[in-house]
Each structure stands twice: as C-alpha cells, then as structure tokens.
Amino acid sequence: MIVIAAFAGDIHSISVHLALRARGVRTVLVDFGSLPFCSITTTCNSGSAKIAASTRSASVELGEAEVIWNRRTKAPSFDGLDGRDREFAEREAEEFFHNFVSQLAHAIWVNPMSRTRSERSKIAQLNAASEFGLTTPETIISNDLDAIEQLLAEAPDEEFVCKPFTPASWHEGGALFELMTRPLDREALDAIKSGFLLPLIVQRRVEKREEVRVTCFGRHQVAVAIASQRFSVSSVDWRHLHPRHLTPKAIEIPPEIASGIERLMRRLDIVFGCFDFIIDQDGCWVFLEVNPQGQFLFLEEALPNLSLLDLMWQFLSYGGCPWSFSPTDPVHLTFSELSAAASELCEKERDDDEFEPIRQYSF
C-alpha cells in the first residue's frame, strides 16, 4: 500500500493518487495534520506496534504502508484554544506525531519525515552544493540590516537580489500581492527598515541566460530550461509567469552537474527533489536551491511529452530501492487526461467544511 500524506486541496497528491488507483495500485490519501478529526492509534504489545488511522467513515492500517509520500503536511490547528492551553495542545500533538511516525520506519519514505527540516535548510543546501562541485551565488542570510547594508556598500557597482525563506501571497484591495525574489537596492532596503525585521536571504545577482528546473526521482533526472529573460516581469523570478509562456524545453544535464545533484541528494537524505539552477551568460550552471516537496505537474502542463505524472506513480510504486529506479514502462496516463477530475476534487476538498482526512478516489 502507498500512503500519500497531504493536506486538503493539493493538486499534486490528488493527481498522483488518481494515477496510482487507475493502475490498480492500492493507495490512500491521509491528512496527518487534521487532528482530532482523524484519529491515530498506536497499540504497543510485547514489543510490536499496530498503527491505525480512522475517521467517522474511513480507516486505514498505516502499518501496512510500503511507501509513504510525504507530499505536504500541516501541523494540527487548535483554533478553539487560547494561550498556554493552545501551546500545550500543539506540543502534545507534535510529540504524538513524531512518536507514531517513528513506528513507520519500515516503509520507504519520499522523503524521510525526520529530515524534512534539515533538508530544507538553505544554508545546508548551499554549503553541501559547493562541497560537491556545484557553483553557488555569493549569499548572506541575516536579520542584521547593518550587515546587509555593509555588503551593498562594499560593492556599489554590483547588483543583489533578496528573497524570503518561503513564498507568500495575499489579497489586499482586490489585488493579489506575491512575495518572491526581487532586486535589493536602496529603495527596497529602506522599505524593509520601515517594517518589522525578518531574516532575509541576499545573493549577488547572476546575469542569466536562462533557468533550469531539474526534477529528480532517485537517480532519474529530468531537466527543463525556462527562458526567464524573455519578459522583464519574469527576469528576476520566473514564477511570476507560467512556464508555458517562457518557451520551456527539455535539455540534457552536464555529467558533472548530474553527479553533483545525486551527491547532494544523498547528503540531504532525500530521494525526490526539485532543483533550481541559473545558466549564466558563460554557460555555467549556478545552483540556487532544492525543494524536497516541490511541484512538477506545471512542467508537464507546458511540455506534455515530459510525462512527469507517469514517472511519479512509477517511482512511488517501484517498491525497491529508489536509487535504482529506472522508468521502463510506456506512458499510461498523462496529467492532461485527469487534470479536470483532479481540479474538481481539489475545489471540493477546499470548500468542504466536513473534509474527510482519509480519502480514496477513483478515476
């Protein structure tokens, strides 16, 4: 059995779930963060443990899981509690969660839950990438504005960019605002000073020729070049536009880059990841970051022949060591074939006040 750990309304988890079910693979979606609406019980007896999750209308024996895709999870929310009561409840829920997760070590995790925080560390990623021969941009991460100002003052003719640790978006006055990578100049620095101070990632700007997203399924790597410099709005951060507008194309990965990626994945203890690179004006690949829970179906939307959905369900159902995974089957199901059904289920989950934390859909 394959368990997909994901919160409500995630198009990737639902799409992969539908693809697996269509191929006859036993799989279930579980929202581990939906306590107390999802009951999880661990029974310990004579050195063995039995783990089950249940709701009013569904149940699943988690101990039967062979593969667990740690897609995207949220911590339980206790909005009805205040102050110390809420802090205590959140602490208890977190401890309980890690206790029962530790009893699922027999399964193949994509990616291991215990490493989720360390693998997402920007500092650890950049340091390890440099160690394995990948070029990285000069970076400073700080909440000390004096240190950031000094960096700008020491290189007045250089350009820098700044970005948050996580993307953010919000609606205000009927408009959508997104917090992504942006140029860091005096105006931006003054704006930061006028508000509350949060840690900031600052990097020396790299003159781009194009950008690359590499999606890794174990040792199997798929690279897509994105012409981010085609429009000014996408020149600093291509996520402002869908890649379909940026003439995406599948490309080969230089052997030394492929080797560096694999070594970095092993260091971070991940078997799946989405890597972002810049190719500069001299053709040098510059590593930016890897997202171990990254999105990939938008690339198949832009390039249907990539068959990333097919790759993902094969990868999860492989059942052996993920590092020896090598796709051999022809394409059986594309994202375009099930995107309408997946999108409808996403909307239903987001709008449902009585969302079912344990789900099994059919396509």
The domains of the chain, with CATH numbers, are 2-111+331-359 (no CATH), 117-121+207-292 (3.30.470.20), 138-204 (3.30.1490)
pLDDT for the residue 54: 84
* pLDDT, position 49: 66
Identify the band that residue 315 occupies on the pLDDT scale cut at 50, 70 and 90. very high
- The tens digit of pLDDT for each residue in 242-278 reads 989 999 999 999 999 999 999 999 999 999 999 999 9
Phi first, then psi, for residue 96 (nearest 5°) are -60, -45
Judge whether residue 294 has pLDDT over 80: yes
Give the three-class secondary structure for 134: coil
pLDDT of residue 280: 97
Model confidence, pTM:
0.90
* pLDDT reading at 136 higher than 80: yes
pLDDT at 194: 63
What value does the mean pLDDT of the chain take?
87
Sequence-distant (≥ 6) Cβ neighbours of residue 227 within 8 angstroms: 210, 246, 247, 248
pLDDT surpasses 80 at 209: yes
Q: Measure the CA–CA gap between 314 and 67, rounded to whole angstroms.
A: 12
Q: How confident is the model at residue 117 (pLDDT cuts 50, 70, 90)?
A: low
Q: What is the dihedral of CA 281, 284, 286, 290, to 10 degrees?
A: 120
149 contacts: CB under 8 Å, gap ≥ 6: 189
pLDDT at 146 over 90: no
pLDDT at 184: 87
pLDDT of residue 205: 93
Percent of the chain with pLDDT over 70: 94
Name the most confidently modeled range: 42-56, 155-169, 229-243, 277-291: 277-291
* Paired tokens of 174: 């009927």
Residue in the block written with tokens 């070049």: 225
- pLDDT value at residue 105: 85
For 81-110, how does the pLDDT look when each residue is reduced to its tens digit (9 = 90+)?
888 998 998 888 888 888 878 888 889 999
Give me the percent of the chain exceeding a pLDDT of 90.
Answer: 50
Q: Judge whether residue 320 has pLDDT over 80.
A: no
